[in-house]
Amino acid sequence: MKKYPNPKSPSSSKNAATKKKTEDPKPVSFFDVVYKIARKIPKGRVTTYGAIAEAADIKLTPRMVGWAMNGAGNAKPAVPAHRVVNRNGELSGRQFFATPTLMQELLEQEGVTVKNDKVSDFKTVFWSPGKPKATTATKTVKKKI
């Protein structure tokens, strides 16, 4: 993490607009897919990176989801990255926000209780992107049904 000159701007600070008019045949970059799913997250609810990766039609790893979130602020409309947490329910990406506490503030604002940088009742506020057979979600919410 030290060899990175610009930790602030992930995509060379070119923002997501880099592909502006270059999209035509296959505009469905894995970025767009993640954004689309993240935007579908209802208010007061959170999901995990792995769940999004599973919901994506394309083969994708949870890591890529987080990486794609880098452009969330640049994406339009802005993607509610604060509603996306890791499988543990921790606000791992809070430090990537404008302020480390912004993520928690937003979550609490929507009614999500955050304790110690972790979502309380994570399983309760957990929301599935739409993939019922989510392996990860199955384990997390296995006792849901």
Backbone angles phi, psi at 53, to 5 degrees: -60, -40
Of residues 41, 46, 64, 119, which one binds DNA by CB under 7 A?
A: 64
Backbone angles phi, psi at 66, to 5 degrees: -60, -40
Residue pair 46/107 in contact by the 8 Å Cβ criterion: yes
72 belongs to the binding site for DNA (CB under 7 A) = yes
**From CA 82, how far away is CA 72, in angstroms rounded?**
10
142 belongs to the binding site for DNA (CB under 7 A) = no
Peptide bond preceding 77 in cis form (omega within 30 of 0): yes
126 belongs to the binding site for DNA (CB under 7 A) = no
Q: How far is the CB of 15 from DNA (least distance, A)?
A: 10
Residues that bind DNA (CB under 7 A): 1, 3-6, 10-12, 14, 18, 29-30, 48-50, 58-67, 69-70, 72-73, 81, 84, 86-88, 92-93, 96-97, 135-136, 139
